[in-house]
Amino acid sequence: MDKPNSQDRVDTEARILEAARLVFFKQGMAGARMQDIANQAGVNKALLHYYFRSKDKLFQTIFIQAFQTMLASFKEIIVSPVGIREKLEAFIHIYISNMRQNPYLPLFIINEINKNPDSFPKQLIPQHNQVDLRQLFVQAQKEIEEGKIAPFKPLHLIMNVLGMSIFTFIAKPMMVQMLGINETQYETFLNEREEQIISFVRSALNPS
Amino acid sequence: MDKPNSQDRVDTEARILEAARLVFFKQGMAGARMQDIANQAGVNKALLHYYFRSKDKLFQTIFIQAFQTMLASFKEIIVSPVGIREKLEAFIHIYISNMRQNPYLPLFIINEINKNPDSFPKQLIPQHNQVDLRQLFVQAQKEIEEGKIAPFKPLHLIMNVLGMSIFTFIAKPMMVQMLGINETQYETFLNEREEQIISFVRSALNPS
DNA sequence: GTCTATAACAGGATAGAC
DNA sequence: GTCTATCCTGTTATAGAC
């Protein structure tokens, strides 16, 4: 019944990864404890080392996968052949709905890059990402010159949209503490959020 | 010459606090090392315990002071007897210029609240803060009804402004990694930032 | 008040039985 | 493949001399 087979291996490894994600996302690399991850996964501490050799290796696995999840959200938008407004709105839509499943993801990534900018895995920055982004800037500039949108500098425009979207998730604990908001109220806030950001941006972009 | 006196005490304590701020801001509670703080302050590790008893106590001191610095930036605005537009613009102005001196502050605070929402020092939420904030919401709602500004829900409006402002500092390492931006380019970005956010918000708030 | 030396402990990692 | 037991390093904290 307990005969180990390749299916067990997959299951255990997956359970560990899931547990590691939970703990690392919440606590960060420095704050996470292998013991916590093991408990969370319902396995022995030694097993983590059996599967991933070291805390650092396990962390790398989680981080890289998380970063790619994040990138995927971005990527999905940039390439499609529509106007800047549509791209921004699509981004807000996709980002807000994706991150509802992973509310800790944005803060986790920002944090770990911040603490360790040097050891950022180079494999994670394929050349074409930067190219795609620059394309987006060019497109924005063009639409400004054509009078389609109000003249905000493209980089700032993007940062505005990113800031409003990402802050939605990052700020939850702050809202709880400073505004005394509870879980239900935050849910309501989340439900309105996409529409509110989109209409805010839409209003800002109207050429005067 | 080396006779200890109360001035020495003040100096040493201040040097330790300054060093602790540096290390904690960058590394967080979990990532910080007492040894690093001692080195940074140019004193012996044991001295930290002499002055602050434990790492946790030292951290609390830093965190509380940091949080109050942050609150002060907010407070400065909310009370003045001007319109919502003016308040939001004043906030953006003050926040961007204040945080240039403390770029790590916002992320530090958000992070530590996130990791330890339970042990949040209650002394840091005086009743009147929440009252002041609710006042702001009321004022926004009133100006909407008077047709002075476009009808965005007050909470979302505030979160939009906060998000764009705070993300400016939080996202620096991400910009470096993903856009390949360097120090000079980030400086340029910072210099434009206040004006860009303000005109974005102004444009969004115009009643249609 | 400041230092050196060391105790006490936490946490990552490995050996070896099953 | 999974567990128990143990090692070993790094880190907080204290004792005690100056």
pLDDT in tens, B133-150: 888 999 999 999 999 999
Q: How far is the CA of A198 from the C1' of D13 (A)?
A: 53
* Protein residue closest via CA to C1' of D3: A44
Positions of chain D reached by protein Cβ under 7 A: 1-5, 11-16
Query: Does A35 score more than 70 pLDDT?
Result: yes
Considering only residues B51 and A7, tell me which one the structure prediction assigns the higher pLDDT: B51
Which residues of B fall within a CB distance of 8 Å from A25? none
Q: What is the reported pLDDT for A73? A: 82
> Average pLDDT over chain A, rounded to whole?
92
Residues 6+ apart with CB under 8 A from A169: A99, A103, A104, A105, A106, A107
Contact A117 B197 (CB under 8 A): no
Q: Does B27 touch chain A (CB under 8 A)?
A: yes
Q: Does A64 touch chain B (CB under 8 A)?
A: no
Q: Which of A182, A22, A38, A164 is nearest to A102 (CA)?
A: A22
> Does the CB of B56 sit below 7 A from strand C?
no
Contact A173 B31 (CB under 8 A): no
pLDDT in tens, A139-182: 999 999 999 999 999 999 999 999 999 999 999 999 998 888 99
pLDDT in tens, B176-189: 988 889 999 999 99
**CA separation for the pair A156, A166 (Å, rounded):** 15
Confidence of residue B171 (pLDDT cuts 50, 70, 90): very high
How many Å lie between the alpha carbon of B30 and the closest alpha carbon of chain A?
5
Query: Does A3 score more than 50 pLDDT?
Result: no
- How many other CB atoms are found less than 10 A from the CB of residue A107? 24
Contact B171 A27 (CB under 8 A): no
Q: What is the reported pLDDT for A8? A: 65
Q: Which of A127, A164, A30 is nearest to B30 (CA)?
A: A30
Q: Does B156 touch chain A (CB under 8 A)?
A: yes
Contact B156 A110 (CB under 8 A): no
Positions of chain C reached by protein Cβ under 7 A: 1-5, 11-16
